[in-house]
Amino acid sequence: MTYHLIVLSLDYIIRYGVPNVDYHIHSVYSDGKSTVEEIIDYAERKGLLEIAITDHVWKTSTWVDKYVTEIKKLRKDRIVRVYVGLEAKAINFAGELDITREQRNKIEMLIGVVHRYPVPSFKDYKFLDAKTLTWQRAAEIETEVAINIIKSARPDVLGHPARTYYKFVYPRERREFPEELFYEIVRAAKRHNVILEYNSRWSRPWMLEILFSENAPFVLGSDAHIVNEIGSIDRAEVYMVAQQYMGV
């Protein structure tokens, strides 16, 4: 990571409040609907201090050079600080990410994520059908793969932890992701100096409580795919939860 993101902690929020930032945004380079220029223009109009454009990448992606060049060109002389990022998914149970070393060396921020559940082996791009898993097993797999990403891939940020559970399992089961497993992810990230993401689309307020209780560093992201989702984090909610731990 070339620059320093605004990483949140209880101490930071006590001193400075909750910043207007968004470190998880997608453009037309992957599955977003807006161009890089539209994203930067909107972020400035909304008064964001910093953003990261973090398109989905694959080892086979051929557009990374163009993407990096465009962002660096368009961010010049802007009020908002813009980071060049990518989001890469786990391709196997060991936590290997879908990004090459060459691609990673060209960017300033890497988000590692669990998007599907890999089979419990070291085969690449072999995934389980979440519909066939019990909610307990799905949560266990997500936790194991997330921790393996943290330990082996060492991304700058572990993106939207428990997202795959909430996308594929929660609508069917209506059971929250187990708190004890989220604690395991948080503690592993803290041990290995990987920053966690609190995501406005996928995270839950109880996750903030665990982040603050464990004093785990985290960043804010929206997972925006259209411009009006940029900066959609409920900063008042983050501050309200933080207040419960101030002075503890």
Instruction: Give all strands of the β-sheet with 157-158 in edge-to-edge order.
Output: 21-25, 50-56, 81-89, 109-113, 157-158, 195-199, 218-221
| Domain coverage including residue 209 | 11-243
Number of domains composing the chain: 1
* Average pLDDT estimate for 43-52: 98
Spatial CA neighbour of 157 closest among 223, 241, 75, 91: 223
How many residues in total does the chain contain?
248
What's the pLDDT score for residue 2?
45
The string of pLDDT tens digits covering residues 15-24 is: 999 999 999 9
Identify the CATH number of the domain in which residue 42 sits. 3.20.20.140
In a domain, residue 172? The reply is yes
Give domain status of residue 2, yes or no. no
Q: What percent of the chain has pLDDT over 90?
A: 96
| H helical segments located in the chain | 10-16, 36-45, 64-74, 101-105, 135-148, 163-168, 170-173, 179-191, 205-213, 235-243
Cα–Cα distance between 242 and 54 in angstroms, integer?
Answer: 27
Q: What is the mean pLDDT of the chain?
A: 96
In a domain, 164, yes or no: yes
Q: Does the pLDDT of residue 52 top 60, yes or no? A: yes
DSSP H or E stretch at residue 25: strand 21-25
In a domain, 107, yes or no: yes
Q: Does a structural domain hold residue 248? A: no
| Structure token pair of residue 155 | 């991304």
In this predicted model, what pLDDT tens digit does every residue of 206-242 receive, in sequence order? 999 999 999 999 999 999 999 999 999 999 999 999 9
Q: What's residue 4's pLDDT?
A: 86
pLDDT at position 137 over 50: yes
Q: What is the pLDDT of residue 3?
A: 58
Instruction: Dig out the tokens for 187 from the structure.
Output: 């503690």
Q: What does the radius of gyration of the chain's CA atoms come to, in whole angstroms?
A: 17
Judge whether 5 lies within some domain.
Answer: no
Mean pLDDT over residues 186-205, rounded?
98
Mean pLDDT of 33-48: 98
- Please name which of 111, 120, 62, 72 lies closest in space to residue 89, comparing C-alpha atoms: 111
Asked if residue 1 is part of any domain, the answer here is no
Between 1-15, 29-43, 186-200, the lowest mean confidence (pLDDT) is in 1-15
**Domain contains 109:** yes
pLDDT confidence bin for 122, thresholds 50/70/90 = confident
pTM of the predicted protein model: 0.96
